[in-house]
Amino acid sequence: MVDEQHNIKSLYDSCSRWYETVEGQYILEQINPKIKDYLSHTFGYYAYETGPLVDHQHFLDESLIGTRFSIGHNMQDTNVHAKPEALPLAANSIDLVIASHIFECSMQPHQALREIDRVLVADGECVFIGFNPLSLLFSHRSLRSAVNTSPHSKLYGVRQIQDWLTLLNWKVNKISYLGFRPAFLKGKLYHRSEIMENWGQLYWPILGKLYIIHAKKESYSQTPIKSQARTVFPSRAAGVAINPIPRSQQSRDQK
């Protein structure tokens, strides 16, 4: 169990460090407008974000949803410290999830997805962000070299994730790919190769380094369900820590 937790932490930290590189920072700038567009059309009561990107960008700050929080490994940047495979959330309580790299940063990716499915309400939405193994410019071997991930890491393709979502009765609304510049370009050459991003979107979109999947949990029944008050956190499970201070207040206190 200790070794498994260490491996998960290693995978999580490795993905997080990659976004500190020049290439990672540039792709993060590309992710932001995509997520902002999704959030502008999503409404509800509760939303959370999870994954390594929580350490770098708080996407839900742009959300119209009233109650927002984050789940991750770092209590300084997140509100809840918990595993994605065992969320301390009530079933059918969340309207929106933003999950970055939960499949490659989990020893049980299927269970991580099932937990999201469990906590989402019918017609709830999720945005998945992950590395694309089909990219010829950022292959699995290159990923291990760039972010120093452990041998336990594994990349999952978009088609495979679509199959998992279909089995859970989800609908994929949109798939986007980002990052088409060669990783070996450095400095000014890297910044001047911006035209390759446009070419990639037009001619080889499925070869982008990252994918963004916007998916929706479909309703199982057409029978209207009476609106009921939701309890998001049912109980404090063992090993779960909750930071009661809102992230916005944490930022103000730090300033």
Mean pLDDT of 168-190: 79
Pairing state between β 67-72 and 80-81: parallel
Rg (CA), the chain: 18
Contacting residues for 115 by C-beta, under 8 A, at least 6 apart = 84, 85, 86, 87
Residue 136 has pLDDT above 60, yes or no: no
Strand order in the sheet with 241-242: 170-178, 210-217, 120-131, 94-100, 46-50, 67-72, 80-81, 241-242
Q: Which of the pair, 239 or 108, is modelled with greater confidence?
A: 108
Tell me, what's the pLDDT at 248? 47
Residue of 107, 104, 86 lying closest to 5 (CA atoms): 107
Q: What is the pLDDT of residues 59-95, one digit of tens each?
A: 998 888 989 999 987 666 678 888 888 899 999 999 9
Question: Which residue is associated with the tokens 């009765």?
Answer: 169
Mean pLDDT of 151-164: 84
Q: Which of the pair, 176 or 146, is modelled with greater confidence?
A: 176
Q: What is the CATH number of the domain that holds 90?
A: 3.40.50.150
Amino acid symbol at 180: F
Tell me, what's the pLDDT at 89? 93
Residue 239 has pLDDT above 80, yes or no: no
Residue 193 has pLDDT above 50, yes or no: yes
Tell me, what's the pLDDT at 150? 52
Domain encompassing residue 11? 2-221+229-254
Contacting residues for 6 by C-beta, under 8 A, at least 6 apart = none
Number of independent structural domains in the chain: 1
How large a percentage of the chain has pLDDT more than 90? 34
Residue of 175, 179, 170, 62 lying closest to 124 (CA atoms): 170
